[in-house]
Amino acid sequence: MIVICGTPGTGKTEVAKRLQKFTFKVIHLSDLVIREKLYLKYDEERSSYVIDLDKLIKRITELYNQNPVKLVIEGVSAETLPNHMVDLCFVLICEPGELEKRLRKKGYPPSKIAENLEAERLNLIWGEALDNYGPDKVVVIDTTRLTIDETAQKIIKEIRKRKIG
Ligand SMILES: Nc1ncnc2c1ncn2[C@@H]1O[C@H](COP(=O)(O)OP(=O)(O)OP(=O)(O)O)[C@@H](O)[C@H]1O
Ligand SMILES: [Mg+2]
């Protein structure tokens, strides 16, 4: 299975949608978590759900067993899935100026924008993905000056190059 992770606003969801055309089954983690109640609680202060990682991993394991190859999983926490299920992990990154624009456009509140810009400056998701999956499985794509389609094309190229999916 293929994983797409990255700080909010780097384009995970939009890019993953493009991959459906290539007959991948795409799972948007945030939709799955809400639809199947795979959370511990709703955090009012941060306006987000706190994911129940045990439940999420159990569910992802089921989905993986149904379709281990042509599966794309995107979202926050995608950097922490069990390594043995993951063939390739794409980390989408974006320079702070452009990321701020994208997050504003998404209507994120200033506190959340600041938090995400800081996370991106520190490469938190990228670091987590490297720790979890190892450098051979991690491909970084800088989306700052790419369109969504160009980012999707790069992903397809890497997948084909490695003969996955
Ligand atoms: N090259 C690009 N790649 C991806 N998204 C882009 C790109 N250029 C502009 N965008 C825009 O960036 C915004 C954020 O994209 P998207 O919602 O897919 O991010 P996300 O990583 O899924 O964020 P979140 O974690 O908050 O769900 C969208 O408005 C999208 O149209
Ligand atoms: Mg998203």
pLDDT at 35: 98
Q: What CA–CA distance (Å, rounded) separates 136 from 110?
A: 36
pLDDT at 135: 98
In the numeric block, the tokens 């051979």 are attached to 136
* Rounded to 5°, angle at Cα 138 from 77 and 132: 50
Binding site membership of 165 for ligand 1 (Cβ less than 6 Å): no
Q: Which atom of ligand 1 is nearest to the CA of 75?
A: 25
| C-alpha 74 – ligand 1 centre gap (Å) | 12
What is the number of other CB atoms lying within 10 angstroms of the CB of residue 75? 23
Q: Where are the domains of the chain?
A: 2-161
Binding site membership of 10 for ligand 1 (Cβ less than 6 Å): yes
Which tens digits make up the pLDDT trace of 104-127? 999 999 999 999 999 999 999 999
| C-alpha 7 – ligand 2 centre gap (Å) | 9
**Residue 18, Cα to own-chain centre: how many angstroms?**
14
Residues 6+ apart with CB under 8 A from 160: none
Beta strand extents in the chain (DSSP E only): 2-6, 25-28, 39-43, 48-51, 71-74, 88-93, 138-142
| C-alpha 140 – ligand 1 centre gap (Å) | 16
pLDDT at 46: 80
pLDDT at 62: 96
* pTM (two decimals): 0.96
What is the number of other CB atoms lying within 10 angstroms of the CB of residue 144? 14
pLDDT at 106: 96
How far, in Å, are 64, 83, 88 from residue 136 at the CA level?
Answer: 21, 12, 8
Q: Which fold has domain 2-161?
A: Rossmann fold (3.40.50)
| C-alpha 75 – ligand 2 centre gap (Å) | 6
Binding site membership of 119 for ligand 1 (Cβ less than 6 Å): no
Mean pLDDT of the chain: 95
* Parts of the chain with a pLDDT under 50: none
